[in-house]
Amino acid sequence: MLKNKKAVSVVVGYVLLIATMIAISGIVYLWMKSYIPTEIPSCPDETSIFVQDVFCDSGVLNLRLKNSGRFQINGVYLKATTSTEQEIATLDLVGNLGAGFFKLDPPLNPGEETLTYLFEYSQPIFKLEVTPVRFQEVNSKQQVLSCSNAKIIETLPKSC
């Protein structure tokens, strides 16, 4: 008779252990769910940029941009391809000038164009990929948003 009671207490122990693990898993799930944002911040669809003028001279890229959209642009990611067969731009022309993107100072308002910016490069470049960057307030915090939906690819003159 004692052996049967001992077996029941082991089963009760396993049931309590499993119930405790399920309860802890539920609590951790609810806690982690509060840390994940419900919507992903993105740039407005009317964000747009245009390469007004581009030319190369002795390893220096001269670039003038125009904001052709309806929202302010605070910076750009600037990448280039190093061969004609290359599909994805991998050469970062901004380098270590800041947070990975070139900050436009002052920001580029709708309809405005920038001064000419100079970027040095050491390899021949064929295409230029320009992605606008916006500073936008999300949940009372200033965030940097990459506007990949407004990215443009500009084929450069053969002299680059």
Angstrom distance (rounded) from CA 108 to CA 123? 29
What pLDDT sits at residue 118?
Answer: 84
Q: Residues for the chain: how many in total?
A: 160
Q: What is the pTM of this model?
A: 0.72
What pLDDT sits at residue 67?
Answer: 93
User: Does the structure show a pLDDT above 70 at 159?
Assistant: no
Most trustworthy range by pLDDT among 24-28, 90-94, 114-118, 153-157: 24-28
User: Does the structure show a pLDDT above 90 at 90?
Assistant: no
Angstrom distance (rounded) from CA 83 to CA 95? 19
User: Does the structure show a pLDDT above 70 at 7?
Assistant: no
DSSP run (H or E) holding 9 = helix 2-33
Q: What share of the chain in percent tops pLDDT 70? A: 92
Please list, in sequence order, all residues whose beta carbon lies within 8 angstroms of the beta carbon of residue 119, skipping any fewer than 6 positions away. Answer: 60, 61, 63, 78, 93, 94, 102
User: Does the structure show a pLDDT above 90 at 109?
Assistant: yes
Please list, in sequence order, all residues whose beta carbon lies within 8 angstroms of the beta carbon of residue 50, skipping any fewer than 6 positions away. Answer: 65, 66, 67, 68, 152
What pLDDT sits at residue 136?
Answer: 86
| Higher per-residue pLDDT: 96 or 148 | 148
Average confidence (pLDDT) over 145-157? 89
| Higher per-residue pLDDT: 77 or 6 | 77
User: Does the structure show a pLDDT above 90 at 132?
Assistant: yes
Structure-token match 């001064």, residue found = 115
Residues 77 and 49 sit within 8 Å (Cβ to Cβ): no
Average confidence (pLDDT) over 22-32? 94
Eight-class DSSP state of 150? G
